[in-house]
Homo-oligomer: A and B are copies of this chain.
Amino acid sequence: MTVEYDGSGFCGWQAQPGQRTVQTTIEGAIGSLTGESVSVLGSGRTDSGVHALGQVCAFDTSSGIPPDRFSHALNAKLPEDVRAVRSWQAADGFNPRFDAKGKTYGYLVLVSPVRPAILRGRFWHVTAAPDVGAMAEACPIIEGEHDFAAFCASGGGAKGTVRNVRRLSVEAHGPDPMPYMGRGSAVIGFTVSADGFLYNMVRIIVGTLMDVGYGRIGLREVGEAVATGSRGCAGITAPAAGLCLLEVNY
């Protein structure tokens, strides 16, 4: 099943005792729809506040609801900050985490004098415009297969830190790039595709690029972060609110 969610109201994807999480919310809705107690496997965790348009998850059900109608039926039981977009019968033994060949994340920065009200929680809000050209120059340094230890927070528990960043791009939109934005706002959008991601990897890549955009980190230091794997050479961790899991490839 593909699911969309607004991460603002969730303590992330993964079930945690006493917390509202996306996983347990979907499990509860399936229970309410079919009467079954199911475990829902996601393609991976997303942190508290992180959004998804294309999270993929899987579960076993004996319900008589046709697989391609399941998402529609489930939406009647889900709260409005989670939507089941599409459902289908998976292949036997399908594992949404281990079978994933790659993922794409989007990250959005909003440049505007005042923090947004209508679109709050959906951007990293900054007041000063970074140099998008400098950030674009840094992207090819990060792209490719590297040891991304410098772009990884502790606590992920992943095996190995080598990943292949197939695409990293930054693009400026604006002024007034979308509705519900105040006059003179600009949006900077990042897109990152990789075969897999370490813990906080997208947020550290974006934070590093923004540090480059503000002249706090030079291109040579970005190269050193990639070459040495030293977390100290990379930049800050961008806030969760701007991050969205766009797609999981199988």
Q: Which residue of B lies closest to A6 (CB)?
A: B118
Give chain B residues whose Cβ lies under 8 Å from the Cβ of A81.
117, 120
- Residues in B with CB closer than 8 Å to A90 are none
Give complex CA distance A108, B181 in Å.
13
Bound: A181/B4 CA distance, A: 9
Cβ of A203 within 8 Å of any chain B Cβ, yes or no, is no
Tell me the residues in window 11-62 of chain A with beta carbons closer than 8 Å to chain B beta carbons: 51, 53
Q: A250 on the interface (CB 8 Å rule)?
A: no
Query: Is A114's CB within 8 Å of the partner chain B?
Result: yes
Binary contact track A69-90/B, C-beta < 8 Å → 1, others 0: 0010001000011111100000
Known A-B contacts A83-B117, A118-B53, A120-B80; A106 and B179 likewise in contact (beta carbons under 8 Å):
yes
* Smallest CB gap from A121: residue in B: B80
Closest to A81 in B: B117
Copy number in the complex reads: 2
Query: Which of B4, B115, B178 meets A75, CB within 8 Å?
Result: B115
Which residue from chain B places its CB closest to the CB of A187 in the assembled complex?
B179
| Contact status of A114 and B179, CB under 8 A, knowing A6-B120, A80-B120, A120-B81 | no
Contact B180 A53 (CB under 8 A): yes
Q: How many residues of A contact B (CB 8 A)?
A: 31
Q: Given the known A-B contacts A53-B118, A80-B115, A80-B117, are A182 and B85 also in contact in the complex, defined by CB atoms under 8 Å?
A: yes
Question: Chain B: which residue is nearest A86 at the CB level?
Answer: B114
Q: Mark A96-118, 1 if CB is under 8 A from B, else 0.
A: 00000000001010000011111
Most buried by B among A5, A122, A179: A179
Q: Which are the 9 A-B pairs with shortest beta-carbon distances?
A: A178-B178, A83-B117, A4-B117, A6-B118, A6-B117, A85-B114, A80-B120, A83-B114, A5-B117
In the complex, 28 of the A-B residue pairs with CB atoms within 8 angstroms, ordered by the A residue number, are: A4-B116, A4-B118, A4-B182, A5-B118, A6-B118, A6-B120, A51-B118, A51-B180, A53-B118, A53-B180, A53-B182, A71-B114, A75-B115, A80-B115, A80-B120, A81-B117, A81-B120, A83-B114, A83-B115, A85-B114, A85-B182, A106-B179, A118-B244, A122-B180, A177-B178, A179-B187, A179-B244, A180-B244
Give the interface of A toward B (CB within 8 A): 4-6, 51, 53, 71, 75, 80-85, 106, 108, 114-118, 120, 122, 177-182, 187, 189, 244
